[in-house]
Chain A
Amino acid sequence: MAQNDYRTMWKDLGLDLDTHDVLLGVLGTAYGDIYLSQKDRPAGMGYLDFVISEIHGLRIRELVDAKAAGRKVIGTFCLYVPEEIILAADAICVGLCAGADMGTAEAEKVLPRNTCALIKSFFGFKLTRVCPYVEASDFVIGETTCDGKTKAYEIFNEYKETFVLEVPHTKTQFASKLWRSELDRLVEKVEQATGKSIGADDLRRGVQIANAKRAALGRLSQLRRARPSPISGRDALLVNQVAFYDDPIRFTQKVNELCDELEVRVREGKGVAGKDAPRILLSGCPMSAPNWKVPYLVEKNGAVIVGEESCVGDRGTRNLVAEDGKSRSEILDRIAERYLAIDCAVFTPNHERPDHVLDMSRNLHADGIIHYALQFCTPYMMEARKVQIALDSEGLPMLRLETDYSMEDAPQLETRIQAFLELLK
């Protein structure tokens, strides 16, 4: 597909072409430095390189074509939005751009400055008109996870229709009932938007597609237990990031092909870093594409990241929906249970998460844990203490980082990371 056709498509979507060119330029350079410069990458990453090179091109063309054929595109910002329901209506679920320091100045015109980078970023992308995903979306589904997002969606709705799901913050019986009723409300909204009625078979198919994707990503996670790790943390993070954009069926097949290749690597003892490279588990806030700063700094200094206890990673993929639901209502029950089991730091109490970080550290043979929080993300910044206490109980060292999407603090972060890696030797 010629670049010219994309420009027409972008213009038709209402993008600001000049600013968008700048974004693609920066993204291309960063990808070259951080990804293409790696040695001994699995051949299967070629597909991911292709997807990234076409992330605002071919994939957007697919969305535009699907819309022309009558399908709906629904944008999301959080893994609490049940994509099974969207898939059941044959609509397309896409994660929206929220991982770059883009349009921060514009965002700060409508948001307080001390708002986390992720929220500022999705506002910035919208206000500067450089995210083709949000422009191609028919509407957006938000969710009441943290206070920042909850209030930000009220403002976002002024720019793009935003349907907000109420995510409870406890796991009591009442909370489960509330959440289950929110799914009914979502089904109704999606049915009304797509003009389709969602039956048990449709839901079952949605569940199967989403479960297969999570199972493939889970398989990738387990392969990283090997010493040496057969894939870099950067590449594994990228796979998890692309999961939010790509066609789920095609993506699942490609991830399984990548895993087939990695299985051979593990059998042959081949890896991306030496057997003695320190093994790091990342834990905390999501890293949306192209937020690769910390993983790059960690791996550039000789360590290998073996897991992400994060929404873009294990937290978003480890629970599957039980497939024993028969009726429409039962399947929705199972979906509700699956989502309410996620251990996001907005829940209280949330001992599941510190316990799980400890489990993951053991399972992945991590030597150290980097707790990653975006500045002003109160839930994760606060919960770092509980995670630290859990890890201390087994003598596992943890480094706490707070940062945002800018590159100004890269030297300071690198000093902390290097010092932490020195401690692990």
Chain B
Amino acid sequence: MRAAGLDIGSRSIELVILDGEGRETVATERIATTPTVAEDCRRLVATASFDRLVVTGYGRAMAEVAFGYPSVTEIKAYARGAEDVRPGCRSVLDIGGQDTKAIALDGTGRALRFEMNDRCAAGAGRFLEMMASALDYDIASFGAGAVRGDGSVKINSMCAVFAESEVVGLLTRGLRREDIALAVHQVVASRAAAMLIRVSREAPIVFAGGAARNPCLVALVEQAVGGPVFVPKDPEMLGARGAALIALEG
């Protein structure tokens, strides 16, 4: 049997297909979310072959109604996915496009507690994208740029709009962009780590979501929690992987 997991996020949509026998990954796909999100999903799924599909992410209710797929919350999907990539996982940090979440696990893939950011996407992936663009970095090289910063700059604002004007103000004062980039990373990491610590800092910790590809952020989060975090191979696919496993296990 082939099982699929579809994670409809605010910035991208991921599809993972697993083969029942060896739980082997037979396909992974990722596309950007557009205003015609239902159409995006239809296209992504049309080319895939699977027996069952479970959907998660903010678009799950839409997909449940439009396509009749069963759904689970992101919390359940990430918890299951984290157990798969790091057996015995006790803590998950996910920095997605519009939200950040921290989950405590029981060591068998079940969520015990969780927290998500409230009413504001500051500190999530989209915030990093905006700050990278204000500093003229592409998102893939933002972290590498920040690593060269000397730590002399501090950012106070966690509102994406105010932070942007703060960054622009710092640039006009002639400060180096790598120093400002480091300050942006510090503020995101400290907020995310604070949430993780409130929920659980017990090892093993899995760090997922697109932001986990950023080496500067990973290092800062590790510093804040006082230990290593495990970044899976495709950190943004963890929700879709978890959903596929839930589909597989029926």
Binding site for B on A (CB under 8 A): 375, 397, 400, 402-403, 408-409, 411-412, 414-416, 418-419, 422-423
Contacts and interface: CB of A to CB of B under 8 A. Distances in A.
Interface stretch (B12-20, B69-77, B152-160, B229-237): B69-77
B118 A402 contact: yes
Contacts of B118: 402-403, 409, 412
Interface string B86-119: 0000000000000100000000000111111011
Contact of B114 (A408, A409, A411, A419): A419
B111 A423 contact: yes
Chain B interface: which size bin? 10 to 19
A415 B119 contact: no
A403 B113 CA distance: 19
A375 B118 CA distance: 10
B58 interface: yes
Contact of B74 (A403, A415, A423): A415
Contacts of B74: 415, 419
A422 B58 contact: no
Question: Which one of A400, A411, A422 has the highest number of Cβ atoms from chain B below 10 Å of its Cβ?
Answer: A422
Interface in B24-76: 58, 61, 72-76
30 contacts: A375-B119, A397-B113, A400-B115, A402-B119, A403-B118, A408-B119, A411-B61, A412-B99, A412-B116, A412-B118, A414-B61, A415-B58, A415-B74, A415-B75, A415-B116, A416-B114, A416-B116, A418-B73, A419-B73, A419-B74, A419-B75, A419-B111, A419-B114, A422-B72, A422-B75, A422-B111, A423-B75, A423-B111, A423-B112, A423-B114
B16 to A, nearest CB: 20
A419 B76 contact: yes
A207 to B, nearest CB: 42
Contacts of B116: 412, 415-416
A335 B75 CA distance: 48
Contacts of B119: 375, 402-403, 408-409, 412
Nearest to B74: A415
Contacts, number: 41
Question: Which one of A403, A412, A419 has the highest number of Cβ atoms from chain B below 10 Å of its Cβ?
Answer: A419
Nearest to A422: B76
Interface string B137-149: 0000000000000
B109 to A, nearest CB: 12
A51 B76 CA distance: 42
B99 A422 contact: no
B113 A411 contact: no
Nearest to A416: B116
Nearest to A406: B119
A412 B72 CA distance: 14
A408 B121 CA distance: 13
A189 B75 CA distance: 55
Question: Which one of B72, B73, B111 has the highest number of Cβ atoms from chain A below 10 Å of its Cβ?
Answer: B73
A402 B119 CA distance: 9
B46 to A, nearest CB: 26
Given A415-B74, A416-B114, A419-B73, 11 more contacts: A375-B119, A409-B118, A412-B116, A412-B118, A415-B116, A416-B116, A419-B74, A419-B111, A422-B73, A422-B75, A422-B76
A411 B58 contact: yes
Contacts of A411: 58, 61
Interface in B111-135: 111-116, 118-119
B151 to A, nearest CB: 31
Nearest to B115: A400
A409 B58 CA distance: 12
Contacts of A414: 61
Contact of A415 (B73, B111, B112, B113): B73
B115 to A, nearest CB: 8
A118 to B, nearest CB: 17
A325 B158 CA distance: 56
Contacts of A408: 119
Nearest to B59: A411
Nearest to A392: B113
B209 to A, nearest CB: 15
Nearest to A404: B119
